[in-house]
A = this chain, B = another copy of it.
Amino acid sequence: MAPPPEECDAGLAARRPISSILIIIAMQTEAFPLVNKFQLSEDTERSLFPKGVPWVRYHGKYKNLSINLVWPGKDVILGVDSVGTVSASLVTYASIQALKPDLIINAGTAGGFKVKGACIGDVFLATDVAFHDRRIPIPVFDQYGVGARRTHDTPNIVKELNLKLGRLSTGDSLDMSPHDESAILANEAAIKDMEGAAVAYVADLLSVPAIFVKAVTDIVDGEKPAAEEFLQNLVAVTAALDQAVTQLVDFINGRCLSDL
Protein backbone atom coordinates (compact mmCIF):
# COMPACT_ATOMS: atom_id res chain seq x y z
CA MET A 1 0.00 0.00 0.00
CA ALA A 2 1.34 3.43 -0.90
CA PRO A 3 1.58 5.79 2.08
CA PRO A 4 -0.82 8.75 2.08
CA PRO A 5 0.94 11.92 0.93
CA GLU A 6 1.08 13.54 4.39
CA GLU A 7 2.58 10.58 6.21
CA CYS A 8 5.49 8.28 5.51
CA ASP A 9 6.84 5.05 6.96
CA ALA A 10 10.10 4.57 8.86
CA GLY A 11 11.84 6.68 11.51
CA LEU A 12 10.83 10.03 12.93
CA ALA A 13 13.04 12.20 10.72
CA ALA A 14 11.94 10.35 7.61
CA ARG A 15 8.19 10.47 8.40
CA ARG A 16 7.24 13.84 6.86
CA PRO A 17 7.54 14.78 3.19
CA ILE A 18 10.86 16.37 2.27
CA SER A 19 10.38 20.12 2.29
CA SER A 20 13.84 21.59 1.79
CA ILE A 21 16.62 20.45 -0.51
CA LEU A 22 20.12 21.83 -0.90
CA ILE A 23 21.78 21.36 -4.30
CA ILE A 24 25.55 21.79 -4.25
CA ILE A 25 27.24 22.40 -7.60
CA ALA A 26 30.90 23.27 -8.13
CA MET A 27 30.85 25.07 -11.49
CA GLN A 28 28.81 27.96 -12.84
CA THR A 29 28.30 26.19 -16.20
CA GLU A 30 26.75 23.26 -14.33
CA ALA A 31 24.65 25.49 -12.06
CA PHE A 32 23.04 27.97 -14.50
CA PRO A 33 20.70 25.60 -16.38
CA LEU A 34 19.25 24.43 -13.06
CA VAL A 35 18.93 27.97 -11.71
CA ASN A 36 16.86 28.77 -14.82
CA LYS A 37 14.93 25.50 -14.79
CA PHE A 38 13.74 25.95 -11.20
CA GLN A 39 13.49 29.75 -11.59
CA LEU A 40 15.67 30.39 -8.59
CA SER A 41 16.73 33.89 -7.54
CA GLU A 42 20.19 34.89 -6.41
CA ASP A 43 20.80 36.17 -2.90
CA THR A 44 22.02 39.66 -3.48
CA GLU A 45 21.40 42.07 -0.61
CA ARG A 46 21.74 39.93 2.49
CA SER A 47 23.94 36.93 1.95
CA LEU A 48 23.74 33.93 4.27
CA PHE A 49 27.51 33.74 4.09
CA PRO A 50 30.20 35.91 5.66
CA LYS A 51 31.81 38.89 3.95
CA GLY A 52 34.73 37.90 1.73
CA VAL A 53 33.62 34.46 0.56
CA PRO A 54 32.60 34.12 -3.11
CA TRP A 55 29.87 31.55 -2.39
CA VAL A 56 26.57 32.14 -4.17
CA ARG A 57 23.11 30.96 -3.11
CA TYR A 58 20.12 30.73 -5.43
CA HIS A 59 16.76 29.89 -3.91
CA GLY A 60 13.09 29.50 -4.69
CA LYS A 61 9.98 27.40 -4.38
CA TYR A 62 9.43 24.57 -6.89
CA LYS A 63 6.21 22.56 -6.47
CA ASN A 64 6.16 21.73 -2.72
CA LEU A 65 9.89 22.08 -2.28
CA SER A 66 12.04 24.87 -1.03
CA ILE A 67 15.16 24.65 -3.20
CA ASN A 68 18.52 26.17 -2.35
CA LEU A 69 21.28 25.82 -4.90
CA VAL A 70 24.73 26.77 -3.66
CA TRP A 71 27.74 27.27 -5.88
CA PRO A 72 31.18 28.09 -4.32
CA GLY A 73 31.56 30.97 -6.79
CA LYS A 74 34.58 32.35 -8.58
CA ASP A 75 37.93 32.50 -6.82
CA VAL A 76 38.30 36.03 -5.47
CA ILE A 77 41.74 36.57 -7.02
CA LEU A 78 41.85 34.26 -10.05
CA GLY A 79 38.24 34.39 -11.24
CA VAL A 80 37.83 30.64 -11.90
CA ASP A 81 35.23 28.37 -10.29
CA SER A 82 36.23 27.38 -6.76
CA VAL A 83 36.35 23.65 -7.49
CA GLY A 84 37.74 20.90 -5.25
CA THR A 85 37.27 19.45 -1.80
CA VAL A 86 38.19 22.46 0.38
CA SER A 87 35.61 24.81 -1.17
CA ALA A 88 33.02 22.03 -1.43
CA SER A 89 33.36 21.11 2.23
CA LEU A 90 33.20 24.75 3.34
CA VAL A 91 30.02 25.58 1.38
CA THR A 92 28.40 22.32 2.46
CA TYR A 93 29.13 23.14 6.11
CA ALA A 94 28.03 26.78 5.93
CA SER A 95 24.89 25.94 3.93
CA ILE A 96 23.79 23.16 6.29
CA GLN A 97 24.29 25.47 9.25
CA ALA A 98 22.26 28.26 7.66
CA LEU A 99 19.55 26.26 5.90
CA LYS A 100 19.06 22.96 7.80
CA PRO A 101 18.06 21.10 4.61
CA ASP A 102 16.28 17.73 4.68
CA LEU A 103 18.39 16.38 1.83
CA ILE A 104 21.54 17.34 -0.10
CA ILE A 105 21.98 16.68 -3.80
CA ASN A 106 25.55 17.09 -4.99
CA ALA A 107 25.28 17.41 -8.77
CA GLY A 108 28.03 17.91 -11.29
CA THR A 109 30.20 16.49 -14.01
CA ALA A 110 32.68 13.65 -13.61
CA GLY A 111 35.22 11.54 -15.43
CA GLY A 112 34.00 8.03 -16.25
CA PHE A 113 35.73 4.66 -16.57
CA LYS A 114 34.81 2.69 -19.67
CA VAL A 115 35.91 -0.55 -17.96
CA LYS A 116 33.06 0.10 -15.52
CA GLY A 117 30.60 0.81 -18.34
CA ALA A 118 30.70 4.62 -18.37
CA CYS A 119 30.08 6.54 -21.62
CA ILE A 120 30.15 10.27 -22.28
CA GLY A 121 26.78 11.81 -21.39
CA ASP A 122 25.83 9.04 -18.91
CA VAL A 123 24.32 10.22 -15.66
CA PHE A 124 25.33 8.21 -12.59
CA LEU A 125 23.84 7.99 -9.14
CA ALA A 126 26.68 7.18 -6.71
CA THR A 127 26.14 4.24 -4.38
CA ASP A 128 29.36 4.92 -2.46
CA VAL A 129 31.97 7.65 -2.28
CA ALA A 130 35.65 7.63 -1.29
CA PHE A 131 38.81 9.70 -1.73
CA HIS A 132 41.69 8.55 -3.95
CA ASP A 133 44.38 11.13 -3.12
CA ARG A 134 44.64 10.96 0.67
CA ARG A 135 47.26 8.27 1.24
CA ILE A 136 48.21 7.88 4.90
CA PRO A 137 50.05 4.55 5.26
CA ILE A 138 49.53 4.17 9.01
CA PRO A 139 46.95 1.64 10.29
CA VAL A 140 43.44 3.14 10.66
CA PHE A 141 44.68 6.52 9.35
CA ASP A 142 44.73 4.78 5.95
CA GLN A 143 40.97 4.15 6.21
CA TYR A 144 40.37 7.70 7.42
CA GLY A 145 42.22 8.97 4.35
CA VAL A 146 40.11 6.88 1.97
CA GLY A 147 36.99 8.06 3.79
CA ALA A 148 34.69 5.50 2.14
CA ARG A 149 31.01 5.85 2.94
CA ARG A 150 27.70 4.74 1.49
CA THR A 151 25.39 7.42 0.16
CA HIS A 152 21.75 7.73 1.27
CA ASP A 153 19.90 4.62 0.11
CA THR A 154 17.47 5.37 -2.75
CA PRO A 155 16.01 2.08 -4.06
CA ASN A 156 12.91 3.74 -5.52
CA ILE A 157 14.85 6.42 -7.38
CA VAL A 158 16.97 3.63 -8.84
CA LYS A 159 13.83 1.75 -9.92
CA GLU A 160 12.07 4.80 -11.34
CA LEU A 161 14.77 6.90 -13.03
CA ASN A 162 17.05 5.85 -15.82
CA LEU A 163 20.36 6.46 -14.05
CA LYS A 164 23.43 4.26 -14.01
CA LEU A 165 24.69 3.14 -10.61
CA GLY A 166 28.33 3.19 -9.58
CA ARG A 167 30.91 4.14 -7.01
CA LEU A 168 32.34 7.67 -7.01
CA SER A 169 35.96 8.46 -6.21
CA THR A 170 37.04 12.01 -5.34
CA GLY A 171 40.35 13.83 -5.60
CA ASP A 172 41.59 17.39 -6.03
CA SER A 173 43.24 16.82 -9.42
CA LEU A 174 41.54 16.80 -12.81
CA ASP A 175 44.16 14.44 -14.20
CA MET A 176 44.99 10.99 -12.82
CA SER A 177 48.46 9.99 -11.58
CA PRO A 178 49.47 6.31 -11.33
CA HIS A 179 49.00 6.55 -7.53
CA ASP A 180 45.50 7.99 -8.02
CA GLU A 181 44.74 5.20 -10.50
CA SER A 182 45.62 2.45 -8.01
CA ALA A 183 43.47 4.09 -5.36
CA ILE A 184 40.55 4.55 -7.78
CA LEU A 185 40.81 0.87 -8.71
CA ALA A 186 40.83 -0.04 -5.01
CA ASN A 187 37.74 2.15 -4.58
CA GLU A 188 36.11 0.21 -7.48
CA ALA A 189 34.99 3.53 -8.90
CA ALA A 190 32.98 3.95 -12.12
CA ILE A 191 33.27 7.74 -11.92
CA LYS A 192 35.74 10.30 -10.56
CA ASP A 193 35.06 13.87 -9.48
CA MET A 194 36.64 16.63 -7.38
CA GLU A 195 34.04 17.22 -4.64
CA GLY A 196 31.72 14.28 -3.85
CA ALA A 197 33.51 12.57 -0.95
CA ALA A 198 34.10 15.93 0.74
CA VAL A 199 30.41 16.85 0.52
CA ALA A 200 29.55 13.37 1.86
CA TYR A 201 31.98 13.75 4.77
CA VAL A 202 30.45 17.04 5.91
CA ALA A 203 26.87 15.89 5.33
CA ASP A 204 27.61 12.79 7.45
CA LEU A 205 29.19 14.84 10.26
CA LEU A 206 26.05 16.97 10.46
CA SER A 207 23.65 14.04 9.86
CA VAL A 208 22.09 15.27 6.63
CA PRO A 209 21.36 12.56 4.02
CA ALA A 210 23.09 13.19 0.72
CA ILE A 211 22.87 11.82 -2.83
CA PHE A 212 25.29 12.30 -5.71
CA VAL A 213 24.32 12.77 -9.36
CA LYS A 214 27.22 12.96 -11.78
CA ALA A 215 27.25 13.27 -15.57
CA VAL A 216 30.24 11.95 -17.51
CA THR A 217 32.20 14.59 -19.50
CA ASP A 218 35.33 12.57 -20.21
CA ILE A 219 36.52 8.97 -20.31
CA VAL A 220 39.47 8.66 -17.94
CA ASP A 221 40.69 5.33 -19.31
CA GLY A 222 40.24 6.49 -22.93
CA GLU A 223 42.68 8.03 -25.40
CA LYS A 224 42.03 11.78 -25.09
CA PRO A 225 43.56 13.94 -22.34
CA ALA A 226 40.96 14.53 -19.59
CA ALA A 227 41.19 18.35 -19.64
CA GLU A 228 40.62 18.58 -23.42
CA GLU A 229 37.69 16.15 -23.43
CA PHE A 230 36.21 17.76 -20.32
CA LEU A 231 36.14 21.26 -21.86
CA GLN A 232 34.82 19.89 -25.17
CA ASN A 233 31.85 18.13 -23.60
CA LEU A 234 31.09 20.32 -20.58
CA VAL A 235 28.16 22.28 -22.03
CA ALA A 236 26.48 19.38 -23.85
CA VAL A 237 26.78 16.98 -20.91
CA THR A 238 25.44 19.64 -18.58
CA ALA A 239 22.13 19.37 -20.47
CA ALA A 240 21.94 15.66 -19.55
CA LEU A 241 22.75 16.52 -15.95
CA ASP A 242 20.08 19.24 -15.96
CA GLN A 243 17.46 16.75 -17.18
CA ALA A 244 18.44 14.11 -14.61
CA VAL A 245 18.38 16.54 -11.68
CA THR A 246 14.96 17.84 -12.77
CA GLN A 247 13.58 14.27 -12.90
CA LEU A 248 15.11 13.61 -9.51
CA VAL A 249 13.62 16.73 -7.93
CA ASP A 250 10.21 15.90 -9.47
CA PHE A 251 10.48 12.43 -7.94
CA ILE A 252 11.47 13.80 -4.53
CA ASN A 253 8.57 16.29 -4.47
CA GLY A 254 5.86 15.05 -2.06
CA ARG A 255 7.90 12.06 -0.89
CA CYS A 256 9.59 11.25 2.42
CA LEU A 257 13.27 10.33 2.83
CA SER A 258 12.25 6.72 3.40
CA ASP A 259 10.43 6.66 0.03
CA LEU A 260 13.43 7.61 -2.08
Contacts and interface: CB of A to CB of B under 8 A. Distances in A.
Interface of A: 50, 52-53, 75-76, 78-86, 89-90, 93-94, 97, 131, 133-138, 140-141, 143-145, 171-175, 177-179, 198, 201-202, 205-207, 225, 227, 230-231
Given A83-B141, A94-B93, A133 B133 contact: yes
Contacts of A136: 83, 173-174, 227
Nearest to A171: B133
A53 B230 CA distance: 35
A224 B131 CA distance: 26
Copies in the complex: 2
A228 to B, nearest CB: 9
Given A81-B141, A89-B90, A135-B172, 9 more contacts: A53-B205, A78-B144, A86-B86, A134-B172, A135-B174, A141-B174, A177-B178, A177-B179, A178-B178
Contact of A145 (B84, B97, B231): B84
Given A85-B86, A97-B50, A137 B175 contact: yes
Nearest to A201: B86
Contact of A206 (B53, B85, B97): B53
A179 B181 CA distance: 12
A85 to B, nearest CB: 6
A50 B97 CA distance: 8
A227 B141 CA distance: 11
